[in-house]
């Protein structure tokens, strides 16, 4: 499809809806402009990745060329040095063009964002700090050299929801670790160079405190990718199953010092919100497509529909939801910090829920408002509709878990219990 309508609309998004009220830094502006340079190509390739359920390798080659695999690698260590909010802004814009690229780019960046400033600000011994510096320099250098990381946590149990320790086990052996286990829905399976695995150290009575975050090379003996991948949406994520059978990794594979992951998870709740921008970008894209379509500006269907009051009403309803979502997005992504207040935590759940649900609602409304011709596979809307449904399913902050935690957290103060 000819996606040139995006040229005009991605720019109008800047001026009208995307970032008003939140000042952008020069770095943020330049990163968004860089994404716009490549974005239309990504939007056009998205059809193929969706049809084939194949990984957006060409887009990742572009991301490498752009230096974006080092987006969240600190400047001091050679990266772009994007902080949390900058990452989220960039991710919205990548998703605007290709949802699967943004969804998987989130997994790659978790490996740098979580291991940089967040760990620096935590209480570590000098020894831990030195070994972390050594380990992450190796992984950041890999990223800067174009290596792709992923983030397979899910196991099909309550572990990824934080209910009990991960079933993937790591056992100390000499100067390294042996890993055994299975991860489901491992986005970038077969395309990542390293899998950033959450696993449990093999110690007596292991608990969540024994969670370890370890980078496993995709080509290490004992790593295999199994199963099919033919899902409803986000098909380009290629999230197949990973098996680890007696996989040995050296000590330098540790992405966080022992015991730190669970502390980071409780002190930085916003770290689990980094897929929100992906679905914010998809929502904006569905809205912009609808405006262009109703104005008769989408190549292939040049019939204007904007004069009908029902269409005007429909687009107004979409816009209202979009603005509500952006307002929460900007507020909450600006509240990222260590140990946020209770109100900030609650707002983060509300933000994640709102964006994941509204994205699906906006995409569904877009199909209805634009009509039958717009949902043909020659247009991106039906893919956005399917992709949008995936956001609410992402552990650990699925829509259901967000509501669960909000309901409890709003009615109970810390340590309060009923008999």
- List own/partner pairs for 410-417 with CB under 8 A and 24 or more apart: 410/346, 414/342
> Which residues between 183 and 202 bind ligand FAD (CB under 6 A)?
185-187
> Which residues between 355 and 384 bind ligand FAD (CB under 6 A)?
none
State yes or no: residue 265 binds ligand FAD (CB under 6 A).
Answer: no
Q: How is 137-163 classified by DSSP, letter by letter?
A: HHHHHHHHTT--EE-----SSSTTTTS
CA nearest 96: which of 163, 210, 7? Answer: 7
State yes or no: residue 161 binds ligand FAD (CB under 6 A).
Answer: yes
At its nearest, how many Å lie between ligand FAD and the CB of residue 197? 9
Which of 154, 170 has the CB closer to ligand FAD? 154
Q: Token pair for residue 380? A: 């991106």
Which of 144, 234 has the CB closer to ligand FAD? 234
Using DSSP, state whether 194 is helix, strand or coil. strand
**Binding flags for ligand FAD, 215-244, as an x/- string (CB under 6 A):** -------------------x--x-x-----
Beta carbons of 322 and 358 less than 8 angstroms apart: yes
At its nearest, how many Å lie between ligand FAD and the CB of residue 168? 11
Using DSSP, state whether 164 is helix, strand or coil. coil
Q: In whole angstroms, what separates CA 61 from the centre of its chain? A: 19
State yes or no: residue 107 binds ligand FAD (CB under 6 A).
Answer: yes
Pick the piece of the chain touching ligand FAD (CB under 6 A) from 141-149, 154-162, 330-338, 344-352: 154-162
Which of 40, 393 has the CB closer to ligand FAD? 393
State yes or no: residue 163 binds ligand FAD (CB under 6 A).
Answer: yes
CA nearest 359: which of 268, 291, 278? Answer: 278
Which of 56, 152 has the CB closer to ligand FAD? 152
State yes or no: residue 115 binds ligand FAD (CB under 6 A).
Answer: no
At its nearest, how many Å lie between ligand FAD and the CB of residue 149? 11
At its nearest, how many Å lie between ligand FAD and the CB of residue 319? 27
Q: How is 45-112 classified by DSSP, letter by letter?
A: HHHHHHHHT---HHHHHHHHHTTGGGTTS-GGGTS----HHHHHHHHHHHHHH-HHHHHHHHHHHHHH
Tell which one of 86, 92, 142, 151 touches ligand FAD (CB under 6 A).
Answer: 151
State yes or no: residue 153 binds ligand FAD (CB under 6 A).
Answer: yes
CA nearest 99: which of 389, 395, 396? Answer: 389
**Binding flags for ligand FAD, 390-419, as an x/- string (CB under 6 A):** x--xxx--x-xx--x---------------
The DSSP letter of residue 376 is S
| Beta-strand relationship, 194-201 and 169-173 | parallel
At its nearest, how many Å lie between ligand FAD and the CB of residue 134? 27
Which of 184, 364 has the CB closer to ligand FAD? 184
Size of residue set near ligand FAD by CB under 6 A? 24
State yes or no: residue 279 binds ligand FAD (CB under 6 A).
Answer: no
Which of 94, 370 has the CB closer to ligand FAD? 94
At its nearest, how many Å lie between ligand FAD and the CB of residue 384? 14
Which of 239, 254 has the CB closer to ligand FAD? 239
Q: Token pair for residue 60? A: 């990742």
Pick the piece of the chain touching ligand FAD (CB under 6 A) from 66-74, 76-84, 387-395, 408-416: 387-395
Q: Write phi, then psi, for 82 (nearest 5 degrees).
A: -70, 135
At its nearest, how many Å lie between ligand FAD and the CB of residue 263? 20
At its nearest, how many Å lie between ligand FAD and the CB of residue 224? 17
Which residues does 219 contact at the CB level (< 8 Å), separation at least 6? none
Residue with tokens 């060329």: 65
At its nearest, how many Å lie between ligand FAD and the CB of residue 305? 32
Classify each residue of 362-381 as buried b or exposed e, where b means 16 or more C-beta atoms within 10 Å of its C-beta: bbbbbbebbeeebbeeebbb
Tell which one of 43, 73, 89, 160 touches ligand FAD (CB under 6 A).
Answer: 160
d(CA 235, CA 383): 9
State yes or no: residue 20 binds ligand FAD (CB under 6 A).
Answer: no
- CA distances for 376 relative to 56, 362, 389, angstroms: 22, 18, 18
Q: Which residues bind ligand FAD (CB under 6 A)?
A: 107, 151-154, 156, 158, 160-161, 163, 185-187, 234, 237, 239, 390, 393-395, 398, 400-401, 404
């Amino acid at each position: 499809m000819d996606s040139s309508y995006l040229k005009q609309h991605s720019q109008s998004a800047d001026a009208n809806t995307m970032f008003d009220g939140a000042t952008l830094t020069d770095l943020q502006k330049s990163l968004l402009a860089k994404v716009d340079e490549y974005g239309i190509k990504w939007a056009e390739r998205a059809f193929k990745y969706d049809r084939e359920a194949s990984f957006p390798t060409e887009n990742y080659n572009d991301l490498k060329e752009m230096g974006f695999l080092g987006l969240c690698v600190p400047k001091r260590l050679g990266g772009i040095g994007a902080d949390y909010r900058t990452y989220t802004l960039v991710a919205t814009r990548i998703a605007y063009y290709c949802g699967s690229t943004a969804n998987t780019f989130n997994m790659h960046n978790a490996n740098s964002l979580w291991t940089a400033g967040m760990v620096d600000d935590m209480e570590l011994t000098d020894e831990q700090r030195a070994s972390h510096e050594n380990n992450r320099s190796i992984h950041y250098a890999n990223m800067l050299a174009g290596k792709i990381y992923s983030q397979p946590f899910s196991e099909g149990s309550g572990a990824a929801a934080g209910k009990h320790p991960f079933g993937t086990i790591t056992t100390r052996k000499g100067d390294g670790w042996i890993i055994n286990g299975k991860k489901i829905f491992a986005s970038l399976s077969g395309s990542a160079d390293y899998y950033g695995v959450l696993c449990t150290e093999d110690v007596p009575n292991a608990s969540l405190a024994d969670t370890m975050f370890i980078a496993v090379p995709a080509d290490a003996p004992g790593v295999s990718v199994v199963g099919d991948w033919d899902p409803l949406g986000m098909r380009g994520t290629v999230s197949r199953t990973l098996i680890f059978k007696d996989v040995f990794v050296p000590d330098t594979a540790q992405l966080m010092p022992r015991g730190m992951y669970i502390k980071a998870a409780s002190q930085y709740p916003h770290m689990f919100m980094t897929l929100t921008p992906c679905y914010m970008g998809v929502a904006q894209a569905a809205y912009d497509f609808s405006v262009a379509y109703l104005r008769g500006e989408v190549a292939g269907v040049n019939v204007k529909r904007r004069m009908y009051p029902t269409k005007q009403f429909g687009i107004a309803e979409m816009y209202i939801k979009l603005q509500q979502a952006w307002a929460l997005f900007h507020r909450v992504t600006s509240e990222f910090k260590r140990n946020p207040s209770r109100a900030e935590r609650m707002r983060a759940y509300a933000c994640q829920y709102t964006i994941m649900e509204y994205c699906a609602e906006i995409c569904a409304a877009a199909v209805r408002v634009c009509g039958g011709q717009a949902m043909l596979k020659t247009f991106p809307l039906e893919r956005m509709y399917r992709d949008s449904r995936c956001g609410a399913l992402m552990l650990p902050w699925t829509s259901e878990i967000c509501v669960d935690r909000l309901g409890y957290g709003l009615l109970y103060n810390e340590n309060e219990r009923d008999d």
